[in-house]
Chain A
Amino acid sequence: MKTIIVVGNGMVGYKFCEKFVVQSKSKDFKIVVFGEEPRPAYDRVHLSEFFENQDAKALEMAPAEWYKENNIDLIVDERVSEINRKSKVITTAKDREFSYDYLVLATGSSAFVPPIKGVEKEGVFVYRTIEDLEGMLSYAAKLKAKNPNARAAVLGGGLLGLEAGKAVMDMGLEPHIVEFASKLMPRQLDSRSSSVLQLKLESIGLNIHLNKATNQILGDDSIIGMEFGEDDILDVEMLVVSAGIRPRDELGKVSGLEMGVRGGIVVNNKMQTSDPTIFAIGEVALYNQMIYGLVAPGYDMADVAVNQIIGNTEKLMPAEIDMSTKLKLIGVDVASFGEPFMPASKGHSVIFENKTQHLYKRINVSLDGKSLLGGILVGDASDYNMLHQVFLNGMPIPEDAAQLILPATEGGAFGSALDLPDEAQICSCENVSKGQICGAIKDGSCEDLAGVISLTKASTSCGGCKPMVTDLVNETLKSLGKTVKNVICEHFDYSRQELYGIIKAKKLTSYNEVLDSCGSGHGCETCKPLVSSIFASLYNVTPNKEDVTQDTNDKFLANIQRNGTYSVVPRIAGGEITPEGLIVLGKIGAKYNLYTKITGGARIDFFGAQLNDLPAIWKELIDNGFESGHAYGKSLRTVKSCVGSTWCRYGLDESVSFAIELENRYKGLRSPHKIKGGVSGCIRECAEARGKDFGIIAVEGGWNLYVGGNGGATPRHAQLLAEQIDNETVIKYLDRYLMYYIQTAAPLMRTAAWLDKLEGGIEQLKKVVIDDSLSIVEDLEKEMQFLVDAYECEWKQAIENEETKKRFQHFVNSDDRDDNLVFVPLRDQKMPEHWKN
């Protein structure tokens, strides 16, 4: 048996293991992987997503168990420090030795930090690892606590620098980009596209400083500014250096492998270094005199190295490597492919520029006008995949090349994605061709997009090709006479909106009726809750009517918690509660020994209630005048209020009274996703109304009504629907807006995402809701009024009915409780024991 040691467990090192497992079925090899970082390989390309949820696990390429299952020894948190090529032994920083037959160096690169005076100061970061991001987050939090207007700069206006700029902006710091060159993304963009990009970035709040050479970093221990020239100083309290990368080639140097003059371990087209038993792949490898700072070439290198080691020696690295890139800066499309800059002697350029809309498109065409040589897209890169394919495959272009980039003509200039040659590489990260994607559908191995993705892995890496993969799958299905639709699940061939229409028209009222009349099979956890939610939105029936088709939280009228216990949230409309009410709640919490907390929605949540106790707890709450808070439903949650003109010296109107009125009006309303509201008494906005699905702010002369806001994973400010309107008009518009959303949104789509998808956006919504362009407002209002009138507290229903109470027994054949539950103490309360797996 031969041992392969892989040094470096980054994206490329991991890909080597993955490809090895798939391609080598033999048991003749043993793989041992060393990684210096404390965790298994993760997706560095999507590193910025860590800011959104701080969930390192979500970025993992594969969990630690994957290595175990595939008989790979993964040793993390241990750097390889030496190679003895003669005896074929490596030594680690913990002084352990291991022998190898083949060695694969996948040590990647590190961020290049220019030797500027003062870069070692506190508050200067690089942007490469999860630990870097954690450091930035906690530093930013400290800064903001001291100064809410703290500023941060990014050194470098390249691809990564801009991504870092967006990240510091999202951290709530005032972002500045400092670039040495006279334009942004100097390697990918020409000056005109670069200035269009600059305008766009400035419009979203990034400050850009070009032509700046940094002399020194100012500050005692920690950074307080950057100095460019005399009197040219930028005050910043944090700096992210993003000035390029340097290969981590130390091991090559110490073991005497052939090195590039400016670093990098030299490899041939078999990915072999100057020592034939040592391979180098990814960002440490110098191939064709180049370090390729992108993952796709790294994955190709991993594939070549795997094949060379298992004996498929004809597999070689191509001489030409495509460096086309699409920037994934959230909110700004930028792409460049092929030859982005082109001297006039080699071809002609066709340029389309519209600065008012931050749009720039350039394509470079051969002198004979027959082929596409490259191009740049800023502002709208939706044609990137297609243009890139036309370029890669040398496909013919229209006589008037301008059609390729002019604002959409009927049918488009491209025709169908199916016109691409079978060899066309669609997913460059995973190296999947058009032929493989279409073939998987044609030969019946897959039936849909999900199947194709799991079989071929296309679009699982950077995701840039997903739209094209989707097109190919849909077009192929169509060409086979299969219809492609955005259907709910295998049991219903309809979209949610269509099913809503059918149920309404046929007046269906039970799940089985719906399944029998327009579905097939026996249902599942996707369609059952969806149908239940449609019933609720149409007839305002509560989950008590058909509990077995409800999502688990609706079924038990409580949110299930990590250990199978439940939470209890009574409604506290507008956040207003009497001292007596608080005492009642306190007593109930104490009596049932519930963990108690004030929620982010400004009400009180009890956790850790056992199933058996739910009816008794709710009975006490209801007897004391409380009712369900619907915290478990896809329904109205809270209408948060500030204290408003009742007490506040700035208040312009009674925000609490109005919030209570609105919360009581829409309570119990079932919808595609949850709905939250907010009412603020003035533009100081203490109720955070603009972060809600509907937000109302008192202004001189009435209320401003905002819609489509969201906190959560993708925060959005709500957009202005109407200005200076009175209470009655607010309610009228809200009725129409909410009902329109309920009828047309996809399942589990919040209003923000729905408004994004709505063609014409907020302007269109104004037409529908205010100008009645669809002539539906009368119906919408009537339907809403029906729902409001039909409201009943479902917990009251549940405790009054002996039969429904049965649902809350843990055992059918015993009154015992679940004895598997273990609680541990937490401060002065309790919590569930941690999960063990």
Chain B
Amino acid sequence: MNTILSQYKTTAINDVNVWFKAGAVSDFFENGGGCIKYKGKQIAVFNFSRTKQWFACQNVCPHKMEMVLSRGMLGDDKGVPKVACPLHKKTFSLETGENLNGDLDAIATYPVKIEAENVYIGFSE
């Protein structure tokens, strides 16, 4: 139905065929997010430095379909790392993509790896 959403599919680490270099670690704010462009897609990348974890997900919020999630705030919900959309504060698990405070569709998440101070996002194509 929705052409924007259909571009974003959760990618498991085993399905990764391309590790795309998103930038240097220092390009991403500590405990903050940034958005990268990959083949016309917008991907939000989070540097959760407080827990030394990195996450990536679609930048589009499934609530109103705006490209804003990378500008959201990081946090945790009973230990589950999450991001809160800046527009209406819907929150999403960064591990599973699940909407934690509502029943929106889950967002797509992507694996991230750090090598030699560079940030790579895994895509299947």
Tell me the A residues contacting B by CB distance below 8 Å: 490-491, 512, 521-525, 528-529, 547-549, 551-552, 555-556, 560, 562-564, 806-807, 809-814, 816, 818, 820, 835-837
Contacts and interface: CB of A to CB of B under 8 A. Distances in A.
Interface in B41-72: 42, 45, 48, 50-51, 60, 64-68, 71-72
24 contacts: A491-B75, A522-B74, A523-B50, A524-B75, A524-B91, A525-B89, A548-B73, A548-B74, A549-B31, A552-B71, A555-B71, A556-B71, A560-B68, A560-B86, A564-B67, A564-B87, A811-B36, A812-B35, A812-B36, A813-B22, A816-B37, A818-B42, A820-B60, A835-B65
A832 to B, nearest CB: 9
Nearest to A611: B71
A491 B82 CA distance: 14
Report, nearest first, the 4 A-B pairs whose CB atoms are least far apart.
Answer: A524-B75, A552-B86, A525-B84, A548-B32
Contacts of B72: 525, 552
A270 to B, nearest CB: 35
B67 A548 contact: no
Given A548-B74, A552-B73, 16 more contacts: A521-B78, A522-B50, A522-B51, A525-B73, A525-B75, A525-B91, A552-B71, A806-B27, A809-B34, A811-B35, A811-B42, A813-B23, A820-B42, A820-B60, A820-B66, A820-B67
A553 to B, nearest CB: 8
B11 to A, nearest CB: 18
Contact of A547 (B23, B32, B60, B74): B32
A490 to B, nearest CB: 7
Contacts, number: 102
Contacts of A490: 77-78
A548 B29 contact: yes
Interface string B67-108: 110011111111101101011010100000000000000000
Contacts of A835: 64-65
Given A490-B78, A521-B76, A820-B4, A560 B87 contact: yes
Contact of B76 (A512, A523, A560, A807): A523
B20 to A, nearest CB: 9
Contacts of A555: 71
B34 to A, nearest CB: 4
Contact of B75 (A528, A551, A836): A528
B79 A521 contact: yes
Interface of B: 4, 22-23, 27-32, 34-37, 42, 45, 48, 50-51, 60, 64-68, 71-79, 81-82, 84, 86-87, 89, 91
Nearest to B27: A812
Contacts of B23: 812-813
A560 B65 CA distance: 15
A812 B75 contact: no
A816 B60 CA distance: 17
Contacts of A556: 71
A813 B36 contact: yes
A21 to B, nearest CB: 15
A290 to B, nearest CB: 40
Contacts of A810: 35
B59 to A, nearest CB: 9
A491 B36 CA distance: 30
Contacts of B65: 835-837
A812 B34 contact: yes
Nearest to A512: B50
Interface centre among A490, A524, A813 (most CB of B within 10 A): A813
Contacts of A521: 76, 78-79
A811 B87 CA distance: 19
B38 to A, nearest CB: 8
Contacts of B75: 491, 522-525, 528
A528 B37 contact: no
A524 B45 contact: no
A836 B65 CA distance: 8
Contacts of A491: 75
Contacts of A564: 66-68, 71, 87
A147 to B, nearest CB: 41
B4 A811 contact: no
Contacts of A836: 65
Contacts of B60: 820
A806 B76 CA distance: 26
Nearest to B21: A813
Contact of B22 (A525, A807, A812): A812
